[in-house]
């Protein structure tokens, strides 16, 4: 390949636009209030990568599958197996019974070796996902020299900013159909909406935070979600660093209270989440606009060992007192099954 889609050329794709011509990379969130178009990857553990590109143009998704050979379908390994995951659910319920937390998101990371590193272009995987699992916040960031190669099919809005208006679209509640959704799913969503309202309230003008939609049902390929919308108006002086500091990590993938949930997550999960459950998206500093997705339904390449790169993918579920451990495991399987099959080339599109 040659040109901007060569597999090692830096690029970003979001919202039907292709960004090329990498200018600079920084970990300083203040850059997002400067000038230019930025791709943003914010790992759950706090590593922030902001990449400014010189050229942004409309572009369709890349051709489906060209340049991609995925893992063998049977080669995926989970950081938590079924027994460990269901034991974690029971442990979280003990924390809830003790009054330490109302909800905590328990996640696991799937990993598989790539059989042909020369055909592991993350942008080509983006093409597969765009055709097989279209998503409202789909995109890719390809910065191999900076250790960032992400393809997301995220359905969830973490932050949208238009001038001084900010909004978030937390997802809580998942089923194959609307009939699968339980009272527990609605309660879970409402708890996280309260958390997001509180987070946005730290940087928004008093009285400006509202909930235009509560527990709306959204249909996505193979499943449905409950989605709410929270929005507010940034107070004078609030900027991207303050907005990220007030809201990160996203409430829907941590729990409530967030500080207690984070402590429990750290004790129970055995692998770092990385881009999964972080944030991925774009900011146009010149226009004062940006859209960051929660890094769910997200793949990333791990080239720590260049001779044996791994493809990783995260999946998880929100645990409440009403959670059944086996049902929560099944939810993580449901969230992963279609996307992992697409990446492995075993899904009929």
Q: Catalytic site residues?
A: 156, 172
How many Cβ atoms from other residues are within 10 Å of residue 49's Cβ? 21
Q: What CA–CA distance (Å, rounded) separates 215 from 218?
A: 9
Structural contact between residues 106 and 269, judged by C-beta atoms closer than 8 angstroms: yes
Hey, what are 180's tokens?
Answer: 């699968």
Q: Phi and psi dihedrals of 6, rounded to 5?
A: -55, 140
What is the Cβ-side half-sphere exposure of residue 154, based on CA atoms within 13 angstroms?
33
SS3 186: helix
Burial call 220-241: b when 16+ CB within 10 Å, e when fewer: beebbbbbbbbbbbbeeebebe
CA distances 278 to 65, 260, 298, Å, are 26, 18, 10
Structural contact between residues 128 and 342, judged by C-beta atoms closer than 8 angstroms: yes
């Amino acid at each position: 390949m040659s040109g901007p889609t060569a597999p090692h050329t830096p690029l970003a794709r979001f919202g039907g636009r292709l960004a090329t011509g990498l200018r600079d990379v920084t970990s300083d969130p203040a850059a997002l209030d400067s000038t230019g178009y930025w791709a943003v990857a914010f790992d759950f553990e706090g590593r922030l990568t902001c990449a400014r590109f010189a050229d942004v143009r409309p572009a369709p998704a890349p051709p489906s599958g060209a340049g991609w050979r995925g893992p063998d379908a049977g080669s995926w390994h989970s950081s938590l197996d079924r027994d460990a995951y269901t034991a974690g659910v029971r442990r979280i319920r003990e924390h809830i019974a003790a009054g330490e937390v109302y909800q905590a998101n328990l996640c696991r990371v799937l990993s598989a070796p790539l059989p042909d590193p020369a055909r592991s272009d993350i942008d080509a995987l983006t093409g597969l996902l765009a055709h097989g699992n279209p998503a409202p916040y789909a995109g890719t960031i390809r910065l191999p020299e900076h250790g960032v190669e992400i393809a997301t099919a995220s359905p969830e809005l973490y932050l949208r900013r238009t001038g001084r208006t900010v909004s978030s679209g937390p997802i809580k509640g998942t089923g194959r159909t609307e009939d699968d959704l339980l009272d527990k799913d609605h309660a879970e969503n409402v708890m996280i909406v309260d958390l997001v309202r509180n987070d946005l309230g730290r940087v928004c003008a008093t009285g400006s935070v509202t909930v235009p939609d509560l527990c709306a049902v959204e249909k996505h390929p193979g499943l449905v979600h409950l989605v709410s919308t929270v929005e507010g108006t940034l107070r004078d002086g609030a900027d991207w660093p303050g907005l990220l500091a007030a809201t990160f990590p996203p409430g829907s993938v941590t729990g409530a209270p967030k500080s207690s949930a984070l402590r429990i997550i750290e004790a129970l999960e055995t692998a770092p989440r990385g881009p999964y459950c972080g944030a991925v998206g774009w900011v146009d500093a010149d226009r004062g606009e940006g859209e960051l997705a929660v890094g769910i339904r997200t793949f990333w390449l791990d080239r720590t060992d260049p001779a044996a790169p791994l493809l990783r993918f995260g999946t998880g579920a929100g645990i409440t007192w009403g959670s059944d451990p086996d049902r929560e495991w099944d939810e993580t399987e449901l969230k992963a099954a279609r996307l992992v099959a697409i990446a492995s080339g075993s899904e009929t599109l």
